[in-house]
Amino acid sequence: MKRYLIILICCFSNIISAQEVRSKKDNITLRLVNKIDLSSTFNITDNKVGENIKKTFEEKGLNFSSDDNRYFISVSFGWSYRRSTELEIDNYKGLIVDKIDGDKIIAEFSCSKTNNIERSTQELINLLMFQNEKVDNNGKFIDISEHFMKMNEKMWDSSRPDSHAPSSILADHTHPRGGIMLGYKFTASQGENNYNGDKIFSRDEISTYYDRHVSSQKFNTHSLEFMYGIKDNLTVFSNLNYHIKESTFISKQNNVYTLNSSGIGDVEIQFLYNLLSNKNIKIHSNVGLFLPTGSISKEDNNSLHGANGSGILAYSMQIGNGHFSSVTGFTVFSQFKKFSVGIQPIYKLSLHENSRGYKTGNQISVNYWGAVNLSNSISISFRQNYLNLSGVTGEDSELDSTVMILNNKNNTGHVLLNSALGVNFSFRKGLLKNKRISFEYILPTYMSYEGLQVGNFHSFSIGLQYSPGHMGH
């Protein structure tokens, strides 16, 4: 009830203290409360409507600056289908805020329907400048009230380069209803040396127990991401991977062999529910499943068939897990004037054994990061990832555990702490507008492996995200 009283009071105060004019031709309404100093500097929300308003203002000699300005023009817009597959801007509204006088509103404008955005914004500016000449310096300001809180100036700034998490983190943000994001990511990872705990074991030591010495592993992954806003507070996220895996080993006769496998991995689906969202902090839950679409029956295609000891490839060389896994966690993201910080803990639980008689270990992953803006388009980030993976339970009966360390289920599970440096680009203009590119280099900080495993993995990740019609996502 209080909310509606506040809105009524604000509307009543508008009628008393503001000069309200309408342009029937272009469905424009303008409420001007206090005279605007047109010799001062302005800044405006970076979207298509804002670009048209800025262009018209600049043609009339007004100054715009992103760093030092007195007035901020906040603009939001809606759209509708002109054709079955084509969206066009249909309406918009906005505020003009005087930053010097405590962020108080001096004008409110709206356009209920337009067929020509350029003509509409030109009419708005003409109306504003005409009415501005008729206002003296004794007008009253309107306090910012609850019904203005959803304007762009009070919302999370998704156009900043640090408004998304670093490249390697998934499902870090949400979208409003109807919002879409498409993403592509490539990750290359390479490991070397054999570890037990945090100690390196030599080839001679390993050859005491195993016939083959695994010297290195390479994993490359191509990922396709998709996000869609089902409701304003609920977003669906999906991730499809294509894995390319290679393991190199040396026989006791010093012959070098490679094991290879590739294919589509398990599909991940998450539902992201907004728990809190305002100018400085966003919190959402991460709940979902891994679907067992990846193969667990990849076989050795080496010219020396069975070089790994059997036709079936080892656990880490399979493309999928062969069973459903649940995903539970949340994401907290805070945005400040020049930097942002975030944390995302995720728990992955293997739900049952697969058709080959085993299930992969449960996993706890905690990502935490910070990013600093270098400009309106570039930020740098530092991230750490704590990863606790339990070992395989059950066993694939076709694998001979004495041939190589990869075949032994006791050589699975680890505790890792990885550190990563990243660069993020968010483009506001040109061909790359509404697109985001991010890079990240990941290196191990701490490693502790259960049994003998290839370790010391270094990774590189590059990601591209595109959200049509939604600036900054």
324 and 434: one domain?
Answer: yes
Q: Which of 97, 120, 154 is the last residue before a domain boundary? A: 154
Task: Identify the band that residue 391 occupies on the pLDDT scale cut at 50, 70 and 90.
Answer: very high
Tell me, what's the pLDDT at 471?
A: 46
Range of the domain at 99: 2-154
Better pLDDT: 428 or 176 = 176
Q: Which of 154, 170, 195 is the last residue before a domain boundary? A: 154
Only one residue has tokens 């050859």, namely: 207
User: Is there a domain that residue 194 lies in?
Assistant: yes
φ, ψ of residue 345 to 5 degrees: the values are -90, 135
288 and 194: one domain?
Answer: yes
Better pLDDT: 267 or 65 = 267
144 and 184: one domain?
Answer: no
* Span between the terminal Cα atoms of the chain, in Å: 35
CA distance linking residue 192 with residue 310, whole number of Å? 23
Check whether 5 has a pLDDT greater than 60.
no
User: Is there a domain that residue 160 lies in?
Assistant: no
Once rounded to an integer, what is the mean pLDDT over residues 109-133?
85
- Which amino acid is it at 300? D
Better pLDDT: 308 or 103 = 103
Q: At 61, which CATH number?
A: 3.30.160
User: Is there a domain that residue 169 lies in?
Assistant: no
Once rounded to an integer, what is the mean pLDDT over residues 196-203?
95
30 and 147: one domain?
Answer: yes
Q: Is 170 exposed, middle or buried (0-12, 13-18, 19+ CB in 10 A)?
A: buried
Whole-angstrom CA distances from 37 to 14, 34, 41, 122, 179 are: 20, 10, 9, 19, 37
User: Is there a domain that residue 8 lies in?
Assistant: yes
Check whether 16 has a pLDDT greater than 80.
no
CA distance linking residue 365 with residue 344, whole number of Å? 8
441 and 318: one domain?
Answer: yes
Once rounded to an integer, what is the mean pLDDT over residues 388-410?
95
Better pLDDT: 97 or 237 = 237
207 and 301: one domain?
Answer: yes
Once rounded to an integer, what is the mean pLDDT over residues 447-451?
96
313 and 244: one domain?
Answer: yes
User: Is there a domain that residue 165 lies in?
Assistant: no
Tell me, what's the pLDDT at 472?
A: 44
Check whether 9 has a pLDDT greater than 70.
no
Q: Is 101 exposed, middle or buried (0-12, 13-18, 19+ CB in 10 A)?
A: exposed
- Output the CA angle 275-277-280, nearest 5 degrees: 135
Residue from 235, 189, 253, 239 nearest 216 by CA? 189
pTM of the model: 0.69
194 and 46: one domain?
Answer: no
25 and 129: one domain?
Answer: yes
Check whether 174 has a pLDDT greater than 80.
yes
pLDDT, tens digit, 9 for 90 and up, residues 220-234: 999 999 999 999 899
Mean pLDDT over all residues of the chain?
86
Task: Identify the band that residue 433 occupies on the pLDDT scale cut at 50, 70 and 90.
Answer: confident
Tokens of 186: 């490539």
pLDDT, tens digit, 9 for 90 and up, residues 258-309: 999 999 999 999 999 999 988 889 999 999 999 999 999 999 876 444 455 5
Cα-trace Rg, the chain: 29
Task: Indicate the SS3 state at residue 406.
Answer: helix
Q: Which of 110, 139, 154 is the last residue before a domain boundary? A: 154
Check whether 8 has a pLDDT greater than 80.
no
User: Is there a domain that residue 450 lies in?
Assistant: yes
- Output the CA angle 357-360-363, nearest 5 degrees: 160
Tokens of 412: 């699975």
Tokens of 468: 């049509």
Q: Are 362 and 387 in contact (CB under 8 A)?
A: no
Tell me, what's the pLDDT at 1?
A: 46
* DSSP type of residue 254: -
Q: Is the dihedral of CA 455, 456, 460, 465 positive or negative?
A: positive
Q: Are 274 and 234 in contact (CB under 8 A)?
A: yes
190 and 119: one domain?
Answer: no
φ, ψ of residue 127 to 5 degrees: the values are -65, -40
Q: Which of 184-193, 212-221, 299-308, 350-359 has the least mean pLDDT?
A: 299-308
CA distance linking residue 464 with residue 450, whole number of Å? 35
CA distance linking residue 124 with residue 121, whole number of Å? 5
> Considering its fold, how many domains does the chain have in total?
2
Q: Which of 133-142, 203-212, 269-278 has the least mean pLDDT?
A: 133-142
Tell me, what's the pLDDT at 140?
A: 43
Q: Which of 152-166, 281-295, 303-317, 447-461 has the least mean pLDDT?
A: 303-317
Task: Indicate the SS3 state at residue 146.
Answer: helix
CA distance linking residue 364 with residue 346, whole number of Å? 6
191 and 274: one domain?
Answer: yes
407 and 350: one domain?
Answer: yes
Once rounded to an integer, what is the mean pLDDT over residues 303-331?
83
Check whether 207 has a pLDDT greater than 50.
yes
